[in-house]
Structure 1
């Protein structure tokens, strides 16, 4: 999407679209498809945190704890919102911090909604996601129930991903951005 194709009034210094949603929603996969279709780069704040710390998020949770991770994540989101001009995927829990929700104001935010069955199937039972250790299905239900209203509160658009391919989801988002 060239600058002249952007929606009127859209600041040039923002991501084209920000994807939010729980683990298993397909944020990273859909971000890559959107970036290819739009001819812009994609960025994932979880990858940014891992690059900054030189470790996986799962290991970061173990060695430094969730609060430290959330601080690093909030900084990664602030940096990406200020610097990135393409498609941005946020980590599943990024929106739990008020400062992140406030920073998303004025951005085009798409909540990739996913039901429990699809989310659990996508993350798998041997999940390396720190907040889903133990009974993945039970943890995922708790997480979805708690976060769904938060995702909805920051979303410009909601796109259901259940039973759909990433290509289908990306196509719907492209139509919303047109």
Structure 2
């Protein structure tokens, strides 16, 4: 069992929105590893960061990704930083990984500057830029398909992914 598509990308790239739409079009289930982490921890991702720290969150996230890659055969959305784990990078080899590429301006507009996202608390625009710059090479290396999301709605992005999947 393996996912039809694994969506990766920065916060604000549209992984959850596009993922749900793509899953619907493909007639498969949708799964988000951030939601899996929240279920296991019994609290929101932001609370895990505050109460338990980023290291604990990353540990929970790596487990969620490992389980989802083994159990889920639909569309899977990974948290933006899940790809930082070397284990996750290895596990993604051979999967249909779709990188949703978003520019800083669009990401800021979609995420919002008053975001509850834990890594963007202080100076969100600057933090988001650093995070995107650091992760971009990993996203690009893992992707078998890259789809630009700037100035496009979820329908257009899903259309392009469908074409790329040959569906």
TM > 0.5 fold call: yes
| 1:38 and 2:34 correspond | no
Structure 2 CA distance for aligned equivalents of residues 152 and 126 of structure 1 = 28
Name the residue aligned to 2:62: 74
Q: How many pairs align?
A: 166
Name the residue aligned to 1:166: 154
Name the residue aligned to 2:49: 61
- Aligned residue runs from structure 1 range 59-138, under 5 A: 59-138=47-126
Name the residue aligned to 2:164: 176
Structure 1 CA distance for aligned equivalents of residues 123 and 112 of structure 2 = 11
The RMSD of aligned alpha carbons is: 0.5
Structure 2 CA distance for aligned equivalents of residues 171 and 57 of structure 1 = 30
Residue 136 of structure 1 deviates from its aligned partner by 1.2
What TM-score do the two structures reach when normalised by structure 2?
0.98
Residue 155 of structure 1 deviates from its aligned partner by 0.5
Query: SS of the residue aligned with 1:112?
Result: strand
| 1:23 and 2:6 correspond | no
Query: SS of the residue aligned with 1:40?
Result: coil
Name the residue aligned to 1:9: none
For residues 56-103 of structure 1, the C-alpha deviation after alignment (integer angstroms, 9 at most, x for no partner) is: 000000010000000000000000000001000000000001000000
Instruction: Say which one has the larger Rg.
Output: 1
Deviating 4+ runs (over 6 angstroms): none
Q: Unaligned 5+ residue runs, structure 2?
A: none
Name the residue aligned to 1:153: 141
Query: SS of the residue aligned with 2:66?
Result: helix
What TM-score do the two structures reach when normalised by structure 1?
0.92
Structure 2 CA distance for aligned equivalents of residues 45 and 24 of structure 1 = 16
